[in-house]
Chain A
Amino acid sequence: MRNSLTFLTRTPVVAALLVALGVAAEFASGSTVQIWSFLLVNILLAQSINVLTGVAGQISLGHAGFLGIGAYGSALLMKNLGLPLPLALVAGAGMGGAGGWLLSFAAGRVREFYLAMMTLGFGMIFYEVVREWTSLTGGVVGLSGVPSPGLRTLTLFGWRIDPVAYFQITLAVVAGVVWLLRNFITSPYGRAFFAIHVSEVAAGSIGVARAATKRNAYTLSAALAGLAGGFYAHLVGYLGPETFGLHRSVEALVMAVVGGLGTLTGPILGAVVFTYLPEKLQVFAEYQFMVYGLILLLSFVLLPRGLAGLLLPRPRFSKDVEALPPPPPAHRAAAGTGPLLSAEGVSISFLGLRALDNASVTLGAGEILGLVGPNGSGKSTLVNIISGIYRPTDGKVSFDGGILTGLPDHAVARRGVLRTFQDPRLVPSFTVRENVLLGGHRLYRQNPLAASLNLPGALREDAEMLGRAEAILAMAGLSHLADTPVRDLPYGDQRMTELSRVILANPRLVMLDEPAAGLSEGELHKLGGLVRHLKEQGVGVILIEHHMDFLNELVDRVVVLDSGRVIYQGAMAGMYRDPAVVAAYLGTETHPGETVHA
């Protein structure tokens, strides 16, 4: 079933279908064309909520508000000010987008049910405002006389538009928008949305600025909903507040959820189902609310990936470009005087517990440093401070002549300080290759418009990045798994994928938090090879690791932490004989006779 429907997503097939639909409208009955136009509006609305909820992971229970802003905006501008249709539609989308942008400042600060409640509140406030602002919106009586093709009151450049022409215009616009969206979602910007969705901390670690990315998602989504609203307003010629109540927001969400969140085809399928079912089944309409409720209640359990997940193959999250051979490694400017990284006198406390106490560490370019110490000694905390996740209460971190302390994590990553996590934090639905491409985030130079229009410069950059990704995958021994979604892979392969993602970022300093944990002997060998490769490239590497044999073969130096303090710095061999280290690991020196020496 999945593969037999694949042809439906091919470009020539889609183009032929669109033309056929446009032509068929000339011969279809008036009510059919009307339903088709409704379907197009629903597709836009479902795509809109999908961008925000499905792609960027920010749930919205108030999308009817954005739809309404666009609808009233476009209708009033045309009716009261006589703006031409294209300008009114664009203005409606712009007003929706502005609403989303404004909401993102508040909504970007909260998550999960707080976000659900906040977006719900936004939708309710919009609904109340429309009801009460009678002088502008007509209140509960509604706003009639909106220029509309059904009443033959809509003109474009002096040309009177009939419902068929209106459908054709809408079809062309919706097809164009979906094409742009497809390009956007498969661009670095779209992948950044997914990264925020899965883990904000991991997204920050590859240089994705979470607040700005969320703001973009809200703005884009709300602008799409506003556009849908504009098309809706002129389609029906009458607006009432009841159209933009909670049930409409829920309907939008249902379409996207049932169709399949996070895909482009899902919202289209969902829109088809929910435009036709209530229209075709009169008996259904009476129970519409109950049926919606049941669908929402059960869809996540029965259809976790929606209709698209059931019927269609997995969508791609990168562009279909031919990989260009990777450029020869750029010659790195030799590090200036002084170390690459230096953390000086760093201290931090949590809940009164001193996790790091005046710890100082330095690292040179091309040096591998092992960071060891018992559980809870502060190793991960130090890495979190360097990468900007925690802010130290005392001390400072400098990197390559600049100060890192106080910078947010994505800004630290953008300077070339990359890290991995104890538990690999990848986008589970992405393939290995797509996850690795995420690492390139800090390097992309294309702008969102070029990415959405598939301009040659953007495609060339994608092809170059893909070429580098393929080379790194080959080095990591992951080439044969490049097209496998990482959620289907064992732990070791996920770790190697995360490390490959870091390498693609062209890092200058890499911090690996227990990279060897859970790896087999063969995987350990590959991991060691990748770490040595980084060293040869002049990258500084910090390894938090308990696997001493593994460290022994790799590191130039170790730093041992105990209770937040540095208790040893120097060669690995000396560590085994250092009384403080032995005491920290094996026991206090209070009973020397029982202490075990190596």
Chain B
Amino acid sequence: MHFVLQLIFAGVCVGAVYALIAMGLSLTFWTTRTLNFGQGSLLMTASVGTVAMLGAGMPAAVAVPLGVLLAGGLMVIAERIAIRPLLKAGDSMGWVVSTLGLGIFLQGFVSTVFGSQAIAFPSLVFDSMDFVDLAGVQVSSQYLAVLGLSLTLMVAMELFLRRSAWGRAVRAVSHDADAAALAGIPVRRVIVLSFVASGVLAGIAGVMVAQITGTVDPGFGFNLMVLGFVAAVFGGMGNTAGALVGGIALGVIEKLVGGYVSTAAEHGMAFAILMVILAIRPQGLFGRKEFTKV
């Protein structure tokens, strides 16, 4: 019984991290109707950069924020060189290929500079051996911290989108960019902002996952991005709550499959779920069908 609870708890925690990545992917999807296939590699580059800065003796309080900002900055570059020029060209495939290319380039770059082996990511706050006793159940402090931070960030995102002028601007641009421009909203800057926010969320998620796994390698971001996308599709790419529910559902399923079937099947299962959802309900489990006029 405890085994099930532990699996579910671990699933909720990693699922909350997936939700952050899903939220980031959704933000840029809303403002540009594109999906950044390089997101995973950007996230990985930021995590590896953080490790490098820590290795150079920089205190964590500086290195981690710098790494997260690096993710945001890279996203701005991605928007500028891999998305904006391709959207102008108007071909629906162009940006898929170019963002994928950017991701592969970064992955190749990191492999060349740091090698393709896993690099140890030092524990920042809690060690993986720290536990707290929660109603008689031993709970990993690390997982608890990850859950707490993820939920806090998701609430902050929701508040940002509902209560701040720039957050409302992001929503307005995603509804109708022309009407938003007429309301005085600087649409280009809002799009860049959505990419920065997406990168920051992904960057934080990357550091948290690295805390749990203890290592980073050039391929780890890609898997995370795919999981984030599955979570986003699960939730319908519509709002914060959808991303959170989708992420947690995915995390729990993944851990249960890993615990009872095989850890090797975890990823295959995520992809299988993705394909089934897309085939049955392309608009996501909680999404609304977009009305398209001929």
- Chains A and B directly touch (beta carbon < 8 Å): yes
A interface SS class:
helix
Interface string of B243-268 (1 = CB under 8 A from A): 00000000000000000001011011
CA A105 to CA B279, docked complex, whole Å: 8
The answer to whether A297 touches B93, judged by C-beta atoms less than 8 angstroms apart, is no
Given known A-B contacts A289-B108, A293-B107, A294-B105, A114 and B100 have beta carbons under 8 A apart: no
| Closest B residue, CB atoms, query A61 | B100
CA A117 to CA B94, docked complex, whole Å: 15
The answer to whether B267 touches A124, judged by C-beta atoms less than 8 angstroms apart, is yes
Selected contact of A296 from candidates B100, B109, B276, B293, CB within 8 Å: B100
Quote the shortest CB–CB distance from B59 to chain A (angstroms): 32
Residues of A300-344 whose CB lies within 8 A of B: 300-301, 304
CA A131 to CA B272, docked complex, whole Å: 16
The reply on B234 being an interface residue by CB < 8 A is: no
Residues of B91-128 whose CB lies within 8 A of A: 91-94, 96-98, 100-109, 111-112
Q: Which residues of B contact A227 (CB under 8 A)?
A: none
- B residues with CB within 8 A of A: 34-35, 37, 81-82, 85-86, 89, 91-94, 96-98, 100-109, 111-112, 222, 226, 229, 233, 262, 264-265, 267-268, 271-272, 274-276, 278-279, 282, 291, 293-294
The answer to whether A289 touches B294, judged by C-beta atoms less than 8 angstroms apart, is no
The reply on A281 being an interface residue by CB < 8 A is: no
Q: Which residues of B contact A304 (CB under 8 A)?
A: 89, 91
The reply on A193 being an interface residue by CB < 8 A is: no
CA A286 to CA B35, docked complex, whole Å: 29
| Closest B residue, CB atoms, query A409 | B294
Selected contact of B104 from candidates A131, A289, A301, CB within 8 Å: A289
The answer to whether A120 touches B279, judged by C-beta atoms less than 8 angstroms apart, is no
Since A295-B101, A296-B98, A301-B94 are in contact, a sample of 4 more A-B pairs with Cβ atoms closer than 8 Å, ordered by chain A residue number, is A120-B226, A124-B226, A250-B104, A390-B294
Given known A-B contacts A113-B35, A131-B264, A301-B86, A290 and B97 have beta carbons under 8 A apart: no
Q: Which residues of B contact A253 (CB under 8 A)?
A: 97
The answer to whether B268 touches A125, judged by C-beta atoms less than 8 angstroms apart, is yes
Quote the shortest CB–CB distance from A293 to chain B (angstroms): 3
Q: Which of B92, B112, B271 has the most CB of A within 10 A?
A: B271
Q: Which residues of B contact A250 (CB under 8 A)?
A: 100, 104
CA A294 to CA B86, docked complex, whole Å: 15
Q: How many residues of chain A have a CB within 8 Å of chain B?
A: 51
Interface string of A403-420 (1 = CB under 8 A from B): 000000000000000000
The answer to whether A290 touches B268, judged by C-beta atoms less than 8 angstroms apart, is no
- A residues with CB within 8 A of B: 53, 57, 59, 61, 105-106, 109-114, 116-118, 120-122, 124-125, 128-129, 131-132, 201, 246, 250, 253, 257, 286-301, 304, 350-351, 384, 389-390
Quote the shortest CB–CB distance from B280 to chain A (angstroms): 9
| Closest B residue, CB atoms, query A121 | B271
27 pairs, A vs B, C-beta closer than 8 Å: A59-B96, A61-B100, A106-B276, A106-B279, A109-B282, A113-B34, A113-B96, A114-B233, A122-B275, A128-B267, A129-B268, A132-B268, A286-B112, A287-B112, A288-B108, A290-B104, A290-B109, A292-B105, A296-B97, A296-B98, A296-B100, A299-B101, A300-B89, A300-B94, A300-B97, A301-B94, A389-B294
Quote the shortest CB–CB distance from B226 to chain A (angstroms): 7
Selected contact of A300 from candidates B37, B98, B106, B111, CB within 8 Å: B98
Selected contact of B102 from candidates A111, A289, A293, CB within 8 Å: A293
Quote the shortest CB–CB distance from A586 to chain B (angstroms): 28
The answer to whether A106 touches B275, judged by C-beta atoms less than 8 angstroms apart, is yes
CA A295 to CA B293, docked complex, whole Å: 36
Selected contact of A125 from candidates B85, B106, B271, B278, CB within 8 Å: B271
CA A201 to CA B294, docked complex, whole Å: 8
| Closest A residue, CB atoms, query B106 | A293
CA A28 to CA B13, docked complex, whole Å: 60
Quote the shortest CB–CB distance from A527 to chain B (angstroms): 23
CA A61 to CA B99, docked complex, whole Å: 13
CA A131 to CA B264, docked complex, whole Å: 9
Q: Which residues of A contact B262 (CB under 8 A)?
A: 132
CA A573 to CA B226, docked complex, whole Å: 64
CA A131 to CA B262, docked complex, whole Å: 13
CA A124 to CA B273, docked complex, whole Å: 13
Q: Which residues of A contact B276 (CB under 8 A)?
A: 106
Given known A-B contacts A125-B271, A300-B89, A300-B98, A289 and B107 have beta carbons under 8 A apart: yes
Quote the shortest CB–CB distance from B181 to chain A (angstroms): 23
Quote the shortest CB–CB distance from B98 to chain A (angstroms): 5
Selected contact of B108 from candidates A128, A257, A287, A389, CB within 8 Å: A287
Quote the shortest CB–CB distance from B262 to chain A (angstroms): 8
Given known A-B contacts A113-B34, A116-B96, A351-B291, A296 and B101 have beta carbons under 8 A apart: yes
Minimum-distance CB pairs A-B, first 5 = A296-B101, A293-B105, A289-B108, A290-B108, A293-B104
CA A270 to CA B94, docked complex, whole Å: 17
CA A389 to CA B96, docked complex, whole Å: 29
CA A291 to CA B93, docked complex, whole Å: 20
The answer to whether B275 touches A290, judged by C-beta atoms less than 8 angstroms apart, is no
The answer to whether B102 touches A297, judged by C-beta atoms less than 8 angstroms apart, is yes
Q: Which residues of A contact B89 (CB under 8 A)?
A: 300-301, 304
Q: Which residues of A contact B94 (CB under 8 A)?
A: 300-301
Selected contact of A112 from candidates B85, B96, B104, B109, CB within 8 Å: B96
Quote the shortest CB–CB distance from B221 to chain A (angstroms): 13
The answer to whether A125 touches B112, judged by C-beta atoms less than 8 angstroms apart, is no
| Closest A residue, CB atoms, query B109 | A290
Q: Which of A294, A295, A297 has the most CB of B within 10 A?
A: A297
CA A351 to CA B272, docked complex, whole Å: 34
Q: Which residues of B contact A120 (CB under 8 A)?
A: 226
